[in-house]
A and B are shown apart, each in its own frame.
Chain A
Amino acid sequence: EVQLVESGGGLVQPGGSLRLSCAASGFIFSSFWMSWVRHAPGRGLEWVANIRPDGSEEQYVDSMKGRFTISRDNTKNSLYLQMNSLRAEDTAVYYCARFSRSGGSYWGQGTLVTVSS
């Protein structure tokens, strides 16, 4: 069974940083693209970033490029999202996802990030 478990969310001040983690199990992690997606109440769902199975390619939504960095450690079956220069509008539940446009769609339970002073 595919399982994705996020951690690392919390309260952070504007301008601060946070690193989210996602522990994956139940599948061959190193074979799949992985993603981060966020849901901000009142603002809806928003794709954040994707990363290639071997980590050699990353894709970002423009508003997060330069501030967020997606990475992975295939030896630890783990996905990460480093978030810097956080803004109030980054407040959201962040989901780790294994998503295929033509195949399976698996999501974690999410971790809440609140950016506030």
Chain B
Amino acid sequence: DVVMTQSPLSLPVTPGQPASISCRSSQSLVDRDGNTFLHWFQLRPGQSPRRLFYKVSNRDPGVPDRFSGSGSGTDFTLKLSRVEAEDVGLYYCMQGTHWPWTFGQGTKVEIK
């Protein structure tokens, strides 16, 4: 199975400041057609998972533009340009290129 490794696992942030989460896969996530099925999810307390980005950098509807996704091959990044209080929660990267689809361990974002 493809192992997804996130860092950091805990991210205390100051509102208004930027933040960044790294995600690395144990093998390339580029499929035979050139697609890279790397997604980012947000899991707020008491809520269902919400996908933020699909295929690395495609923003899902309703996701604020202070969030951005980037990367290629095996290295990917989720960035928040200015953290807001509502961004508190767990963030997961997930690969959908190789079955079984797998998630990273999760990064807990909390306000300092």
Q: Which A residues contact B (CB, under 8 angstroms)?
A: 37, 39, 44-47, 59-62, 95, 97, 99, 101-103, 105, 107-110
Contacts and interface: CB of A to CB of B under 8 A. Distances in A.
- Interface size on B, as a range, is 20 to 34
A44 B92 contact: yes
Contact of B54 (A44, A60, A101): A101
A52 to B, nearest CB: 13
Contact of A45 (B55, B94, B100): B94
Contacts of B106: 44-45
Contacts of B105: 44
**Interface of B, helix, strand, loop or mixed by DSSP:** loop
A110 B44 CA distance: 13
Interface in B93-112: 94, 96, 99-106
Contacts of A103: 54
Nearest to B55: A102
Contacts of A101: 35, 37, 39, 54-55, 96
